[in-house]
Amino acid sequence: MKKANKILSIILAILMVISIISITANATEPTSGTIGGVTWEFDNATGTLTFSGEGGIPSFNYSNHGGVEERPWNSFFYRYTKHIVIGDGIKHIGEYAFAEGSIIETVTIGKNVEYIGYNAFDYCDNITYVYYSISWLKGNLYL
């Protein structure tokens, strides 16, 4: 019985160390930043990725071996992002900007977006609502 308690104590200690390491790793992942003139910020409590500022969200490269590369929000995007909000100062959304966002449920597109790039929302199969007030749009949404 004492041996079983000792083994259980060791296992619990190892699990505690692993959880501390995991929490520390998540704390170092960036949840906001700037790319060009656009600021992005992720709210973990709501799962919302918001873009504000002036300019456009750039295009990104797609790799058949590893998904969309180079997006600074990739570290949490696939697992936690449920809502995308594109502010009114954003003029365009680049290619593959949100591709493979399989848990995205809603997208809000600001009124000044003039262009949505090829496959910007490719493989975002769970989007149920797209909110927009765009009077003129060229490109394709590919939902």
**pLDDT tens digits, one per residue of 36-72:** 889 999 999 999 999 999 999 999 988 765 566 788 9
SS3 state at 130: strand
For the cut 60, the answer to whether the pLDDT of residue 74 exceeds it is yes
In 8-105, beta strands by DSSP E: 32-35, 38-43, 48-53, 55-57, 62-63, 67-68, 83-86, 90-93
Question: How far is 51 from 38, CA to CA, in rounded Å?
Answer: 7
For the cut 60, the answer to whether the pLDDT of residue 139 exceeds it is no
Tell me the pLDDT of the chain averaged across its residues.
82
Number of H helices, E strands in the chain: 2, 12
**What is the percentage of the chain residues whose pLDDT exceeds 90?**
55
Per-residue model confidence as pLDDT tens digits over 8-25: 566 656 666 565 544 433
Q: What pLDDT, on a 0 to 100 scale, did the predictor assign at position 136?
A: 59
